[in-house]
Amino acid sequence: MANGKITLLERIFQNSTMLLVMAVLMVLIMIIVPLPVVFLDFLMIVNMLLSLIIIITVISSKRALDFSIFPTILLFTTVFRLAVNVSSTRLILTQGSSFSGQVIRAFADFVVSGNYVVGIIVFIIIMVIQFMVITKGATRVSEVSARFKLDAIPGKQMAIDADLNAGLIDEQEALRRRQEINQEADFYGSMDGASKFVSGDVIASIIITLINIIGGLIVGMAIHNESFDLAISSYVRFAVGDGLVASLPALMISTSTGIIVTRAVSEESLGEDLKSQILMNPMAYYITGGFAAVLTLVPGFPKLIFLMVAALLFYLGYSIKKISSEKEIKKDVASEQEELKEQTELTPEKMTEMVQVDPLEIELGYGLISLVDENAGGDLLERIKKTRKQMVLDMGLVVPKVRITDNMQLEPEEYSIKINGAAVGGSKLVMSKLLAMNASGSDVRLDNEQTTEPVFGLPAYWINNDEKEDAEKKGYTIVDCPTVVATHLSEILKRNAAEIMSRKEVKAIIESVRKRNPSLIEEVEKMNIKAGDIQKVLQNLLEENVSIRNIDTILEVVCDYGPSVSSHETLTEYVREVLKRQISAQHSDPARNLHTIIFSSELENELINNTSESEGQHIINLTPDSLNALIENIGNKINDVRKKGHAELLVVDPVLRRPLRHILSRNYPGLAILSIKEIAEGYKLDVVETV
């Protein structure tokens, strides 16, 4: 735009569709309407320059998809070139020996030195090169590339889904990758068909040239009354010149087709790859230069030329080696300067990075590095991905990325699991052995190194691979070292799910719900419910191992009761009551029986009478002796329940549920406490013990 006015060129580019339609109409006009000779020369020059632009664009592209419209361009350029051929043939036949096209005359006179026999031979050679070598090879590569690209689509889609489920990429990146795969498949599929345009163009050029020669002789002698010598010298010369004018752009387009289908995916253009992979190899120049020098000993060979070439190759090899050495030195100096700068300059940004900690981290001793080395058969990374996916399915918790690092301060076969920089678990492994756990409580002992299973504290032994079958017969559960680490991580995630549920995860959950249920999020925002309030409720649920997958229902309850409730704990109790079917199913057997411990009516009434409310929270007021007696009595009942093979479950009055949770969680973290309001219809209480 100049001086606030839109120029004609800008108007044209703003309406590219109309520009394309005009180009198609012009091609039709070229075929139907005779063109002036000057305009024909202009179109031939445009044809040559257009092919040059295309081949330069192809060479400059880093990936095939950077020039994704190339198959369509092939069609347009082929039709345009054939239209120019038709126009030139019409003018040559109508004007005869007086044809004044300067471009064709230049190719006929200067390029082939006026000898049409030489021109025919050169034209045939170009056609053979284009059809038998370049076009045939490009067509075959297009077919194979299209087949392999299509066959690879399912595997690539699965890899994207795996990265998405593991949290390595977000939904937008996954969508971008899927679109790129589809575009790549479409491109190579189109190239498979578009390469036929090129081979058809070559055949058409040969036929058109033959028609021009035969038709020219007939028209010249029959219509223009020219002699045979004049006709053959004129029409054959013009036909060959016309064929060469058309064949050179076609050769460049064919070469472009071969380049684009043989290009591998790279971060650089073809020129940069050529420089880095071929031109920067000094040894190749030294060896080739030596071979050229040896050839001077062959009788009859031009010794001076070979010596000059050998000297040039040795000079290039020496220069490339010198440049490479200087680059390595500069790189080493820059690296040392960067390290020194990092050591001496502690900017606020760098200090901030040092303060930041990873939400989840596994540190490995150097003896356990093979667990994450896929080349050595390590599958710990894959197991961690599955663990994170399982947490989403079981608890509705999106686990952040788990950073795995080596720590030289740990013992060689020791690992440590950290949450927000603090160690929450770890153990020592024996990489060459398997862990046999006494999960069944068997009295049978093994004559092996005794240890303790790190996840649940079960007695265990380290056994050799050949002892596995015997240990299984004795009732032991056998696991390998990666399973120990993955299981330990899974259990830590369950126990510390509330701590992992940060404000960042809450906001991600809200945005996920917004996509499928925008009206619900609008209501949350309208009620002025903050992300921190939702976070507290979700943390309270996760703390007691209640899944938050039904997030829509949770948010609905928060909207209903949040504005009128001052305590997050009270709000959580409302949510639990609505989730009663989920909670009941979680703690029942297949017959919907809840095997539970209950309080006697006298004890429950006494506790309710001694319960007071302060700042929205219920507190049980008992003397220290009474409180200790209650805790001890409940512990005895829990042991009795365990012996009977049931899970630890206590059902109480709604007023007592939350304060009892605060009292008993430290002593009995595995005890689930439900209120009577959280028992859904269809579920029956099976009282196992009474306190």
The fraction of the chain above a pLDDT of 90, given in percent, is 0
Averaging pLDDT over each range in 131-140, 187-196, 208-217, which range is the top one? Answer: 208-217
pLDDT tens-digit map of 50-89: 888 888 887 777 776 777 777 777 788 888 888 888 888 8
When comparing pLDDT for 436 and 378, which is higher? Answer: 436
For residue 355, the model assigns a pLDDT of 54
pTM above 0.75, yes or no: no
Residue 2 has pLDDT above 50, yes or no: no
350 pLDDT band, cuts 50/70/90, is: low
Q: CATH number for the 360-498 domain, one of 3.40.605.10, 3.40.30.60, 3.40.50.11060, 1.20.1250.20? A: 3.40.30.60
Among 217-226, 349-358, 383-392, whose mean pLDDT is lowest?
A: 349-358
- Mean pLDDT for 154-160 is 71
Query: CA torsion angle for 428, 430, 436, 438 (degrees, to 10)?
Result: -20
For residue 341, the model assigns a pLDDT of 55
Give the pairing of strands 684-690 and 593-598.
parallel
For residue 82, the model assigns a pLDDT of 82
Q: What is the DSSP string of 202-213?
A: HHHHHHHHHHHH
Q: How many alpha carbons lie under 13 Å from residue 475 in its C-beta half-sphere?
A: 9
Residue 92 has pLDDT above 50, yes or no: yes
Please name the amino acid found at residue 333.
V
The Cα 116–Cα 108 span in angstroms is 7
State the DSSP H helix or E strand holding residue 425, giving kind and residue range, or none if neither.
strand 422-428
Q: Which residues pair with 620 in a beta bridge?
A: 611
- Mean pLDDT for 262-280 is 58
For residue 10, the model assigns a pLDDT of 60
The Cα 137–Cα 650 span in angstroms is 76
For residue 348, the model assigns a pLDDT of 55
475 pLDDT band, cuts 50/70/90, is: confident
For residue 257, the model assigns a pLDDT of 75
The Cα 520–Cα 526 span in angstroms is 10
When comparing pLDDT for 164 and 209, which is higher? Answer: 209
The answer to whether 81 touches 249, Cβ cutoff 8 Å, is: yes
pLDDT tens-digit map of 441-452: 667 777 788 888
The answer to whether 45 touches 104, Cβ cutoff 8 Å, is: no
**Residue 59: which residues within 8 A CB-CB, separation 6 or more?**
259, 269, 270, 271
Q: Which residue has the tokens 């075959």?
A: 140
Residue 398 has pLDDT above 70, yes or no: yes
When comparing pLDDT for 37 and 149, which is higher? Answer: 37
The answer to whether 134 touches 254, Cβ cutoff 8 Å, is: yes
> In this structure, what token pair is assigned to residue 594?
């809840």
The answer to whether 77 touches 54, Cβ cutoff 8 Å, is: yes
The answer to whether 437 touches 390, Cβ cutoff 8 Å, is: no
Specify the fold of 588-691. Answer: Rossmann fold (3.40.50)
Averaging pLDDT over each range in 171-180, 347-356, 520-529, 614-623, which range is the top one? Answer: 520-529
Exposed, middle or buried: residue 506 (CB in 10 Å: 0-12, 13-18, 19+)?
buried
Give the pairing of strands 434-437 and 422-428.
unpaired
Specify the fold of 501-578. Answer: Helicase, Ruva Protein; domain 3 (1.10.8)
Q: At what angle do helices 654-664 and 601-609 cross, to 10 degrees?
A: 80
For residue 13, the model assigns a pLDDT of 56
Average pLDDT, the chain: 77
Residue 342 has pLDDT above 60, yes or no: no
When comparing pLDDT for 162 and 316, which is higher? Answer: 316
Return the sign of the alpha-carbon dihedral for residues 397, 403, 404, 407.
Answer: negative
Residue 18 has pLDDT above 80, yes or no: no
pLDDT tens-digit map of 25-51: 887 887 788 878 888 888 888 888 888
For residue 52, the model assigns a pLDDT of 85
pLDDT tens-digit map of 351-364: 555 556 678 888 88
CB atoms within 10 A of CB 684: 10
Rg (alpha carbons) of the chain, rounded to whole number: 40
7 pLDDT band, cuts 50/70/90, is: low
4 pLDDT band, cuts 50/70/90, is: very low
The three-point CA angle 615-619-625 to 5° equals 150
**CA-based end-to-end distance of the chain:** 87
- Mean pLDDT for 254-281 is 63
Q: Which residue has the tokens 């197991």?
A: 383
Residue 458 has pLDDT above 60, yes or no: yes
- Mean pLDDT for 142-151 is 67
For residue 1, the model assigns a pLDDT of 43
For residue 162, the model assigns a pLDDT of 67
pLDDT tens-digit map of 504-544: 888 888 888 888 888 888 888 888 888 888 888 888 888 88
Give Cα 233 distance to the centre of its chain: 63
